[in-house]
A and B are shown apart, each in its own frame.
Chain A
């Protein structure tokens, strides 16, 4: 019982809460600003797993695996990292002009099975699966999990350098630049799943500040055949974007690959 709870917590802390729990835990990073000017420019970023947006009330985000890429493609250090009870924080110095991408990637195998009549689950890296899942596991269900979470911040004019698709996982291709979002203007993003248009994926956009309104006011969308998502924001604010989709795994025969994409987008009033 204790072990079960522990592993559930560990999974949640990994940012996989959304993928496996009926209760909708949301994983996010929240930058102090996305549009910046001047010299000696910094952003500070909070990271958490929570129910309500953007409040710290459940788990801090585990910062291992955080990757920050500068406009010219250089790796940038996440400074002053700290983990509190409910949130993690770090700072990024923006020395170059252009758009920085802050990314966390979670990839692995999720397995459910029963052993001696007990339901079990395991999450880990693909190469460890064979050793970790017991030979006598029954009702084995395996899925590949691939979640990407991104935040974009721009000093000066937005740039596209960090958006070159890698063909790996769910990726955002900016038709509208994600740091150039304004109310009343149509925004278009394209999504690729392993390099191909991510068609028919369910997306949700939620504006922060849920605590101060009665409805979550989710904007529900589905990507079209080209993987495009179109939306016109009526209210400015920080929005949490989440996409989910499934396709057959190319790694494990017969398994499903569960793809996820999360971003925090700032929409400014025009």
Chain B
């Protein structure tokens, strides 16, 4: 009991320390959809510049456990991401690709010195989140931000069908 408390406290303080560091935090809600045949959505998260030019992939959630890499067949349904980046890549990509997520809120935190962000020149950007679901639809949300963050920034968008609440938080 005591130990548990200590551990919890230690973890909390670690978390607190991390929150102090410069970082980019993305929260993506996968909506729960009550249908007979539900497949988790494929989701791509990337950064584009103010002109819409692709800068950096942050994450691609897809079915990477299928036999013979068959889950890559539907990557092109992430239509914009496929055009901007995916079709140039050999999947899976280390540090980018991971499995699809169940309904609920999911968080990704990138430290400012993460290689994905470290080379980003100062300027205006947009975080792009695109979701596509088998037997379902596709949805895309854009959240603008300034990099590097000089002050705390917070952006929220509400998806309508394939995405729930998507939030972006920057800590300087």
A binding-site residues for B, Cβ under 8 Å: 35-41, 154, 156-158, 180, 182, 268-270
- B69: interface (CB < 8 Å): yes
Q: Are B87 and A39 in contact (CB under 8 A)?
A: no
| Complex Cα gap A157–B75 (Å) | 13
Q: Are A39 and B69 in contact (CB under 8 A)?
A: yes
Q: Which of A38, A156, A270 has the most CB of B within 10 A?
A: A38
| Complex Cα gap A208–B86 (Å) | 28
Contact of A268 (CB < 8 Å), options: B68, B79, B88: B79
Contacts of B86 in A (CB 8 A): 37
Contacts of B70 in A (CB 8 A): 38-40
Contacts of B79 in A (CB 8 A): 268-269
- B38: interface (CB < 8 Å): no
Q: Are A37 and B80 in contact (CB under 8 A)?
A: no
Q: Are A157 and B69 in contact (CB under 8 A)?
A: no
| Complex Cα gap A86–B69 (Å) | 37
Contact with A along B52-76 (1 / 0, CB 8 A): 0000000000000000111111111
Question: Using a Cβ–Cβ cut-off of 8 Å, how many residues does chain B contribute to the interface with A?
Answer: 16
Looking at the assembled complex, report how far the CB atom of B139 sits from the nearest CB atom of chain A, in whole angstroms.
13
What are 13 A-B pairs at a CB distance below 8 A? A35-B76, A37-B75, A37-B76, A37-B82, A37-B87, A38-B70, A38-B72, A38-B74, A38-B76, A40-B68, A157-B87, A157-B88, A268-B79
Residue of A nearest to B87 (CB): A157
Whether A180 contacts B83 in the complex (CB less than 8 A), given A37-B74, A38-B73, comes out as yes
Contacts of B72 in A (CB 8 A): 37-39
| Complex Cα gap A156–B70 (Å) | 14
19 other contacts beyond A39-B69, A41-B73, A180-B83, with CB at 8 A cut-off?
A: A35-B76, A36-B73, A36-B76, A37-B72, A37-B73, A37-B74, A37-B76, A37-B82, A38-B70, A38-B72, A38-B74, A39-B70, A39-B72, A40-B70, A40-B73, A156-B88, A157-B88, A158-B87, A270-B80
